[in-house]
Amino acid sequence: MNIRQKIALMITAAGFLASLIFSGIVLWQMTDQPNRLMDAELENIGQRALKIVLQNDGKLTPNAVSEIGDQNFWLEIYAADSGRLIYKSYLAMILSMPEIKPDSSRTVSRTIERDKIYLGQDRQNEVTFRLKNFSVIVAGKRYLLKTGRPMERLEEEFWHIIIGVGGGLLVFVVVLLLLSYYFAGFILKPVRIINDQARNISEKHLDRRIPTGAGNDEFNRLAHTLNEVFDRLEYAFTRQKRLLADASHELKTPLTMMRLSLDEIRSGFDDELSDLQSESIMRLTEQVLRMERLVKSLLDLSALEIAHSTTTEPVDLKPLLNFLTDDYTLLAEARKIKIKTQLPHRLPVTGNLEELNRAFSNLLDNAIKYNHDDGEVRISGRLTDNRVTVVISNTGPGVAEAATTKVFDQFYRVETSRAQLYGGTGLGLAIVKRIIELHNGTVTFSSTPEGVTAVTVTLPFY
Ligand code: ATP
Ligand code: MG
């Protein structure tokens, strides 16, 4: 069950409980009110009757009470001290009533023939009476009054009301459920927005933020807090990138100085150096060159990482790839590797010539470097709906399936020993990936068990 459903259910349950209590109170009031009115009336008429009875002392017919306005009044008056009956109304003579406690009232049902006296009986000649016993003190003497009066049947009415209220409650619950479900969705809408936006903020789009409104509710505060977290993250990421760029930059000049000094020693003092010293200087130069390459790659990569876009122009990849093939022919021929190209008439893309040159140069470099002697490199291109696809594949030992996704990571090399043999830095493919990303393109790496490795690049068609 999701939060929206839970909120809707809770509101409905609370609403149902509250209206149940409310209806209970109203119902109780409704059913008790007529009884209380009737009790007050019984007491009133009873007292008036007692007054008339006492004024006429004994010489009173049972019907005399009709003078006070009600023939259907059931009345017995007793002197409290002696218990003697001093008056009995006509109705009390033809109909007996059950005993009830003094100072109490009760509703009872009696049967009486309608031709004797008509009291609004139902078909079974049943009449509902309200009875009340109470005592009155007149001139220091206490009298006990047993009073009663027919009243309308309330039970049927009562059931009608119960059914009405029950039905109303049911409709109320359904409407409340629908409304609260709708409103819960409305209230939770900001959560959905926050979720969608937070999902969009990845390493590549760390500058994006969750939109916040003017209000100061919990969701808005959550969005603000998340945005602050993203601020800190973005700051940390850019700082890390800047650090790499700055460190590489600081290393560049000393490395160039070292290389130049080594060149100077080699050319100026070549005759005076022993073989061992010459060899050491050679090795040193090699390492310095390697470090220079590494620093250059790091600088390239950090510049690309910081960039959000690149300047583009229409570029035809076909001449670019042909030039590169020519450049690498010597290197390939040295290891008897054949480079075969299969390109259409034109491969126009929107891109940055210099960066694309660097990317494809890195790919060709890998294709030859990680090939075996007498191997083969194939460069093929094709135009498919709005995309230009270039595949550079090569024979060779290939890489394991698990490594194919990691080759784009910085400093990742499949086999450290082998990579070291070729002097790689593990930054080449990371640079390729970043360049292609800046071009809104894609690059994938695959390797078959037979050792055919293929890198597929797609770029937007110009
Ligand atoms: P750099 O390119 O910076 O000189 P590198 O070539 O070692 O160093 P990447 O180009 O990023 O680094 O390649 C990463 C690893 O992927 C390589 O070490 C290599 O093991 C593997 N690899 C890359 N291209 C190929 C390929 N065409 N065939 C087989 N393995 C490859
Ligand atoms: Mg490489």
319-337: buried (b, 16+ CB within 10 Å) or exposed (e) per residue? ebbeebbeebeeebeeeeb
Per-residue pLDDT, 76:
92
d(CA 264, CA 127): 132
d(CA 407, CA 257): 33
Q: For residue 422, which atom of ligand 1 is closest to its CA?
A: 7
d(CA 223, CA 195): 10
Q: Which residues contact 78 (CB under 8 A, 6 or more apart)?
A: 84, 85, 86, 143, 144, 145, 146
Q: Which residues contact 174 (CB under 8 A, 6 or more apart)?
A: none
d(CA 195, CA 168): 40
Distance 126 CA to ligand 1 centre (A): 105
* Beta strand ranges found along 21-94 (DSSP E): 74-79, 85-88
Contact by Cβ (8 Å): 86, 53: yes
Contact by Cβ (8 Å): 318, 344: yes
Radius of gyration of the chain (CA): 52
> Is the CB of residue 364 below 6 angstroms from any atom belonging to ligand 1?
no
Q: Which ligand is nearest to the CA of 378?
A: 1
Contact by Cβ (8 Å): 238, 230: no
> Is the CB of residue 301 below 6 angstroms from any atom belonging to ligand 1?
no
Please write the tens of the pLDDT for every residue from 220-268: 888 899 999 999 998 998 888 888 889 888 999 999 999 999 999 988 8
Q: For residue 397, which atom of ligand 1 is closest to its CA?
A: 29
- Secondary-structure percent of the chain, ordered helix, strand, coil, rounded to 5: 55, 20, 25
* DSSP H stretches of helix in 335-427: 353-369, 416-422
**Order of all β-strands in the sheet with 126-138:** 85-88, 74-79, 141-151, 126-138, 104-111
Per-residue pLDDT, 216:
82
Distances (CA, A) of 178 to 20, 181, 382: 19, 5, 56
**Kindly report the CA angle at 256 between 252 and 259, in degrees rounded to 5?**
140
Q: For residue 427, which atom of ligand 1 is closest to its CA?
A: 3
Distance 237 CA to ligand 2 centre (A): 25
Q: For residue 429, which atom of ligand 1 is closest to its CA?
A: 11
d(CA 444, CA 49): 109
Q: Is 386 left (phi over 0), alpha (psi -120 to 50) or beta?
A: left
CATH node for 311-460: 3.30.565.10
pLDDT, one tens digit for every residue, the chain (462 residues): 888 999 999 999 999 999 999 999 988 888 788 888 889 999 998 998 888 888 887 666 666 656 555 678 899 999 999 999 988 888 888 889 999 998 999 989 888 888 888 887 877 888 889 999 999 999 899 999 999 998 876 667 778 888 998 999 999 999 999 999 999 999 998 888 888 888 888 766 788 888 887 778 888 888 899 999 999 998 998 888 888 889 888 999 999 999 999 999 988 887 888 889 999 999 999 999 999 999 999 999 988 988 888 999 999 999 999 999 999 999 999 999 999 999 999 999 999 999 999 999 999 999 999 999 999 999 999 998 889 999 999 998 889 988 998 999 998 888 665 555 666 788 999 999 999 999 999 999 999 999 899 999 999 998
> Is-same-fold flag (218-305; 311-460)?
no
d(CA 448, CA 398): 7
Q: What's at 296, amino acid-wise? A: K
CATH node for 3-179: 3.30.450
Domain boundaries, the chain: 3-179, 218-305, 311-460
Specify the long-range contacts of residues 234-237, CB closer than 8 Å, at least 24 apart. Answer: 234/206, 234/207, 237/203, 237/206
Contact by Cβ (8 Å): 289, 328: no
> Is the CB of residue 434 below 6 angstroms from any atom belonging to ligand 1?
no
Distance 414 CA to ligand 1 centre (A): 7
Q: Is 423 left (phi over 0), alpha (psi -120 to 50) or beta?
A: left
Element (H, E) at 266: helix 218-268
> Is the CB of residue 95 below 6 angstroms from any atom belonging to ligand 1?
no
d(CA 103, CA 65): 22
Per-residue pLDDT, 62:
66
Architecture of the domain whose range is 218-305: Orthogonal Bundle (1.10)
> Is the CB of residue 297 below 6 angstroms from any atom belonging to ligand 1?
yes
Element (H, E) at 317: helix 317-334
What's the pTM? 0.62
> Is the CB of residue 428 below 6 angstroms from any atom belonging to ligand 1?
yes
Per-residue pLDDT, 54:
86
The per-residue DSSP string of 74-127 comes to: EEEEEETTT--EEEE-HHHHH-------TTEEEEEEEE--TTT--S---TT-EE
Distance 407 CA to ligand 1 centre (A): 7
Please write the tens of the pLDDT for every residue from 110-136: 888 888 888 878 778 888 899 999 999
Distance 25 CA to ligand 2 centre (A): 84
Q: Name the packing angle between helices 218-268 and 155-200 (round to 10°).
A: 10
